């Protein structure tokens, strides 16, 4: 009877399940279900979760070139002695892996966790598409089988037969042979006759081909049967089309929902500013601009950098791109780009037109374009310009809306929504929304109580909501301009600037009457199906 061997399986730290994963951040063992819950929780979404066997694997260290005998090598790696082990020396090269940069590692973990989080819902859609794929392709194949013979008959009827051995080719060969014959006989009789040309004409018979006044040129031409129209053939050829769908993405509404009321996560003061006129939030730092300076801090409020070459009358004057590079409007109304390490500063767009002055900027993560709101004192009006990554002008939005008025008076803040809409906070009028192509969509001009809107800072969230600072509250509109609710009614401070952090799903709110920033969370990042 075989001996029964019992194994002890390591248990999960949160439930009686078997351990499959290990969290390096909070040092706990996790089963499959607890691992999924762990990565969905916003408080632990940045944690590094690996397979348990990977965590307990011996990490190689750089020893250089070390000599081991076969037996020592087996003992080093816990291998049983092999009968083939001898006393010959082995050269073992162990390579130590370089550690990644902390910020890059954090970004990698965030993207990996998001991918694992979205994966179950994406798989549901893929499985459904896979089941329907066979039926759809059968339908396409049947349609192709019906159209293909008809198309073949039309093309065969439309095209004439091609005679590759046409008469012109034969005539050319005969002419070349006869000219060679004449040349040979001319040299042969040239010295024996006083008039060789006459002699040749009398003695040699010219073939009939040379006496033909006009050579008949035979070519192949394409012709259509009168009963078949070119339009019918073309329509038959373009019936089968391929459409590129792009990358599969799961809708945010399936994964995120609103929490009400919002929860205050933290607040801190920003040293060096009196009012938080505008906020730009990256993954690990925030830029806060006031009336005379621009301050860089981390998310704990620690001072890192200060810039004082900004205009004193602008509001949404800075943004950041995918490389966490700062883009801002300087005192000369040029648009400057500064590297993340603060060592390199370049002029992205130089101010050459004194008539139009930039007022606000926004880098679009969708199109990777830079949106710039501009204003002119001469006409007392505004416009929006779109620049590509090389600083070249791509588009200008400045035409009239349906009421016959100018779209913008003075753009102070600008963002782009998830659906491509360009949203401008025009303090003199309203929140003006246009499509990406520039066509006017709608304007938000009234508060829910009927009071005129006095918009300041704006932003959008993953659910395509439009958030607007107005007096002592933050208003929420849907992507079509319908008012939803007063998100942050507050008597403690005056909300003036907004920025949504997509990495943590936090809303950063800057105050007008003090130098404090407040962080709220109002979106639940989890499944609702």
Distance of alpha carbon 374 from alpha carbon 359, whole angstroms: 5
List the one residue out of 501, 462, 503, 499 whose CA is nearest residue 109: 503
Contact (CB, 8 A) for 51 and 21: yes
Bond into 239 cis (ω within 30): no
- pLDDT recorded at residue 315: 87
**What Cα–Cα distance (Å) separates residue 218 from each residue in 83, 173, 178, 212?**
86, 15, 21, 15
- pLDDT recorded at residue 116: 65
Q: Which helix (H) or strand (E) holds 180?
A: helix 167-189
- pLDDT recorded at residue 77: 43
Give exposure, 483-505, as e/b (b: 16+ Cβ within 10 Å).
Answer: bebbbbeeeebbbbbbbbbebbb
Please provide residue 440's backbone torsions phi and psi, each rounded to the nearest 5 degrees: -65, 135
- pLDDT recorded at residue 210: 45
- pLDDT recorded at residue 323: 87
Please provide residue 228's backbone torsions phi and psi, each rounded to the nearest 5 degrees: -115, 130
CATH number for 252-525: choose from 3.20.20.140, 2.60.40.420, 2.120.10.30, 2.60.40.10.
Answer: 2.120.10.30
If you ran DSSP here, which 8-state letter would residue 282 be given?
-
- pLDDT recorded at residue 66: 40
- pLDDT recorded at residue 114: 63
Residue ranges of domains in the chain: 63-96, 167-220, 252-525
- pLDDT recorded at residue 184: 74
Global pTM reads: 0.57
- pLDDT recorded at residue 468: 94
Contact (CB, 8 A) for 520 and 467: no
Distance of alpha carbon 255 from alpha carbon 341, whole angstroms: 35
- 3-class DSSP assignment, residue 375: strand
> Along the 529 residues of the chain, how does pLDDT read in single tens digits?
455 555 566 788 888 888 888 888 888 888 988 988 888 887 888 888 888 776 654 443 333 334 444 454 445 444 444 444 444 333 333 333 334 445 556 656 666 666 666 676 677 777 777 778 778 777 777 877 777 787 777 766 655 444 545 556 677 788 888 888 877 776 666 555 555 555 555 455 544 444 444 444 444 444 445 555 666 666 666 655 555 555 555 555 556 778 878 899 888 888 888 889 999 998 888 999 987 789 999 888 888 888 888 887 788 999 999 888 999 999 999 999 999 888 899 999 998 888 899 999 999 988 899 999 999 888 888 999 999 998 999 999 987 656 667 889 889 999 999 999 999 998 767 899 999 888 889 999 887 777 888 899 999 998 899 999 987 889 999 999 999 988 988 777 889 999 999 888 899 999 988 888 999 999 876 543 3
Token pair, residue 8, equals 């002890």
**What Cα–Cα distance (Å) separates residue 336 from each residue in 272, 341, 350, 351, 373?**
22, 15, 8, 10, 15
- pLDDT recorded at residue 76: 43
């Amino acid at each position: 009877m075989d001996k029964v061997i019992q194994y002890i399986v390591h248990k999960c730290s949160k439930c009686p399940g078997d351990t499959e994963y290990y969290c390096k951040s909070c040092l706990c063992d996790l089963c499959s279900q607890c691992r999924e819950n762990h990565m969905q929780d916003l408080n632990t979404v940045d944690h590094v979760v690996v397979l348990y066997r990977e965590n307990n694997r011996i990490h190689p260290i750089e020893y250089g070139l070390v000599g081991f005998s076969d037996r020592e090598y087996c003992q080093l790696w816990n291998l049983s002695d092999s009968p083939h082990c001898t006393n010959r020396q082995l050269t073992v090269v162990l390579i130590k892996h370089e550690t990644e940069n902390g910020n890059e590692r954090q970004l990698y973990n965030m993207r990996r966790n998001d991918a694992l989080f979205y994966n179950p819902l994406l798989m549901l859609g893929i499985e459904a598409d896979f089941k329907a794929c066979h039926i759809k392709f059968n339908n396409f194949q049947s349609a192709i089988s019906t159209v293909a013979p008809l198309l073949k008959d039309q093309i065969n009827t439309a095209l004439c037969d091609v005679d590759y051995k046409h008469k012109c080719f034969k005539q050319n060969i005969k002419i070349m042979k006869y000219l060679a014959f004449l040349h040979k006989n001319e040299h042969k009789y040239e010295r024996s006759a006083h008039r060789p040309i006459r002699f040749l004409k009398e003695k040699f018979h010219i073939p009939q081909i040379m006496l033909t006044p006009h050579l008949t040129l035979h070519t192949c031409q394409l012709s259509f049967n009168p009963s078949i129209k070119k339009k019918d053939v073309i329509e038959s050829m373009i019936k089968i089309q391929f459409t590129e769908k792009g990358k599969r993405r799961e809708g945010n509404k399936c994964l995120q929902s609103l929490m009400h009321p919002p929860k205050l996560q933290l607040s801190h003061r920003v040293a060096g500013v009196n009012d938080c006129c505008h906020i730009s939030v990256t993954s690990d730092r925030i830029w806060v601009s006031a009336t005379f300076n621009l301050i860089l801090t981390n998310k704990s409020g620690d001072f890192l950098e200060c810039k004082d070459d900004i205009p004193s009358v602008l509001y949404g004057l800075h943004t950041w791109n995918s490389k966490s590079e700062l883009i801002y409007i300087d005192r000369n109304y040029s648009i400057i780009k500064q590297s993340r390490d603060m060592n390199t500063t370049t002029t992205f767009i130089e101010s050459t037109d004194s008539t139009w002055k930039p007022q606000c900027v926004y880098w679009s993560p969708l199109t990777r374009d830079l949106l710039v709101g501009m204003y002119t004192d001469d006409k007392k009006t505004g416009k929006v310009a779109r620049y590509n990554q090389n600083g070249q002008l791509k588009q200008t939005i400045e035409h009239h809306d349906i009421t016959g008025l100018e779209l913008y008076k003075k753009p102070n803040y600008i963002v782009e929504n998830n659906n491509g809409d360009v949203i401008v906070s025009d303090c003199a009028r309203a929140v003006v929304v246009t499509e990406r192509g520039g066509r006017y969509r709608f304007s938000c001009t009234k508060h829910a109580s009927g009071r005129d809107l006095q918009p300041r800072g704006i932003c959008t969230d993953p659910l395509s909501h439009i958030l607007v600072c107005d007096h002592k509250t933050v208003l929420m509109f849907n992507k079509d301009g319908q008012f939803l609710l007063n998100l942050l009614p507050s008597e403690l401070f005056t909300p003036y600037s907004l920025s949504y952090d997509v990495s943590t799903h936090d809303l950063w709110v800057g105050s007008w009457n003090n130098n404090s920033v407040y962080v709220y969370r109002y979106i639940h990042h989890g499944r609702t199906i």
